[in-house]
Structure 1
Amino acid sequence: MEIINNKYFKELTKLAEKNSKIAPSFYKENDVKRGLRNSNGTGVKVGLTHVGSVKGYELVDNIKRPINGKLYYRGYELSDIVNAFQSEKRKGFEETVFLLLFGELPNKNELTQFNEMLGASRELPNEFTENMILKIPSKNIMNKLQRSILVLYSYDYNPDGISLENILRQSIKLIAQFPTIISYGYQAKAHYFDKKSLIIHSPDNALSTAENILHLCRSDNKYTKTEAEILDLLLVVHAEHGGGNNSAFATHVVSSSGTDTYSAIAAAVGSLKGPKHGGANSKVTEMVNDIKENCTKWKDEANLKIYLEKIINKVAFDKTGLIYGMGHAVYTYSDPRAKLLKKEALKLAKEKDSLDEYNLYSNIEKLTKEIFDKKGKNKIISANVDLYSGFVYSMLEIPPELYTPLFATARIAGWCAHRIEQLISDDKIIRPAYISVNKHRKYKAIIDRK
């Protein structure tokens, strides 16, 4: 029986809604920091970290002052890391993973050995692909990834051990296996739900993470040097974003209970799956498709600006009033990840003959700022990384179903680093307080209830 169409179930739904709603005024009266945000928009301080740091504003007399955004991995500015490996014409993600996990930049020999270690760990356990992925396909690859992580627990000879050595072993294997899991998960989805041919390639141990993803996802295994380089950049810019982002904080919370690595990383994947977090780049793609379908002459800035105003005024697209890919909880004048990605997106757009598309994204950024300035809104808005990441994925011919899983494939490096830090540095279980707003009630015998 499908209970959702049942009249009594609908009444129960209304009852649950009534008894779950808390008036907004109660939060203010009890000085509760909703979303762990202070009244001035800054985050509530709940921990310390070596791993990553996000700088989007300065506090002057407890007032936020906008600045150009900066992102640091283990104290190194992201732009310096990227400029260094790009100038040397090599991939940067594996070096970034090493830095996040171990806290230091690897020398040439260390990086070579670490790459070999990752390469040797990319294969999934025997029969895992058939039994876990192909026999139980999912329409949502994040769901498939989360379940696969939990099943890998059963293949581990020491799944619950929380010694540093054991956690590092598990972390490296999961980081190496994520590209394989999401690629096979997508192929199963495409075959069983979209009726496409089933194509399963084995990972190539000699390839980088970015190269392996393209190798595994494409039927002919082929990709250009530029494609591999920009996917590598995407992985680097998504690898870490401080301890306060939702999925990293989830990793801290779950790890603080002393649970296993697989449970902690699966929880982080569940967090990233949400449209307010890792799923945002898919919303950008949906919005751009809507603009193309409903905005006549979208290449013309005047027409595009009119349609963007309609979106902001909640009369177009999903009627939320949001321009997806614009604005950020921390960054003000600029998101350093978006700046790095925009620059490389232009190179790929030229190679892919997609300059009209690139100009559309660039104009969305430019015109949204103009609209907000004109309206006199008390908010500084800039492009965030999601504005250009979805565009780059589309130019790479990566299906939208893999956008957020690719984010997870990058961010697991940061999650593992935060998990290690939590277990080594803070043995307290994270348990914030909630204030009950219920009045005490006297229990009624069932015969006395109406």
Structure 2
Amino acid sequence: MLASLSADDAEWAAAERPLAALRAVSTAQVRAAVRACAELGVPVVPRGAGTGLSGGANATEGCLVLDLSRMDRVLEIDAENLVAVVQPGVVNDDLKKAVAEHGLWYPPDPASAPWSTIGGNVATNAGGLCCLKYGVTRDYVLGLKAVVGGPAGEYGTAVRLGRRTTKGVSGYDLASLFVGSEGTLGVVTEVTLRLRPARRDVPHTVVGAFDSLVAAGEAVALCTRRGLAPAALELLDRACLEAVEEWKHLGLEPEAAALLLARLDAPGQAGTEEAEAVARAFAESGARWAERSTDAVEAEALFEARRLAYPALERLGPVLTEDVCVPRSAVPAMLARTEETGRRHGVRIATIAHAGDGNLHPLLITPPGDEAARRAAQAAFEELLAQAVALGGTVTGEHGVGLLKRGGMRAELGPEVCAMQEAVKRTLDPLGLFNPGKVVGAPGS
């Protein structure tokens, strides 16, 4: 069991031997475990479903792996105030289904939504297909309960951060500080989430086929310049489409170098006009064809292909997953640099992207057991991080820093900001108990 709980899905991120694991079922159990670990000097590594892609949940030597996946209850759905209160082990899609019964919607929708947990989504500030228009996890976290140490009192103290109200500026926004902190400041045991009224069926899908990735990127930049606001704007290259079709036989015809998929949910005539404007932007950017889909089944198959791209490519060999995000005007340049980097290092790179918000996921695929290919992929990975920063972007849009991107983060933020982050960590976790070596830890530490 310990081996299965020692690492997430990040390829080649180091995982060490834990001392023990605990599958907690309550905040009280988490408090007792943290208190005991503090007394014994045992690090605590929180874990959800283990779907992370940066090594953020990987065990450190002699740690306690604190598995929160069994804390999986939806504690409250307050339809009157558009709020849900959940434990961290609730699976994203399960929450969506639960609130849908009340005519409500929880928008953050990472591709891992059928498996990933709300706690993990909070830890990495997960986004997804809808985040272009509707925001990421941080936009929906009103408050949370966390087991902490440091100035809050003895280790094992449970505190409530944030609130249930729509507005509130009483003190520092500590709840937001915990979102994206990857378990390095404490253990989240409950989350209060903002909800939205359920959407009607999304009426418009626009598909564009391009002969190059860069042309698809130009279409994204043009949509941004024209102020178009799709609910989702996703990119898949030919390699992704071929892998999905070979696996799932969805009836796709991956002839183009890249597809752009746009969903628009404005009602009535406004939605129709916006869909037509997106199709024009695609065509003016060099699409070989751009059409509004009139077949709901076909449109859903294309978005299903987008969600299946990563597991389909995993079947071909180890996949090292990038998560860079650049300004939307820089999407064409980043796509060009990705292709050039792959050619120069001799690495096969397939690309999927939340293209509408500049969040690109180059997937570096290597043959199993090929050590030279592995080294080349790791060199290309680091270079792509540097390329994103050079274009004014960030090394991670939603997967987190974990172990794999600590060097890239330090290059992005600079020594002064990194020092501020380390000061926050020392203040809230003076023993260095919570998920040590992740995020703020120096590479190689």
Do these two structures clear the TM 0.5 threshold for a shared fold by scoring above it? no
Normalised to the residue count of structure 2, the TM-score between the two structures is 0.22
Structure with greater Cα Rg? 1
Task: Please state which structure has a larger fraction of its residues in helix.
Answer: 1
Normalised to the residue count of structure 1, the TM-score between the two structures is 0.21
Q: Which has the higher contact order (CA 8 A, sep 6+)?
A: 1
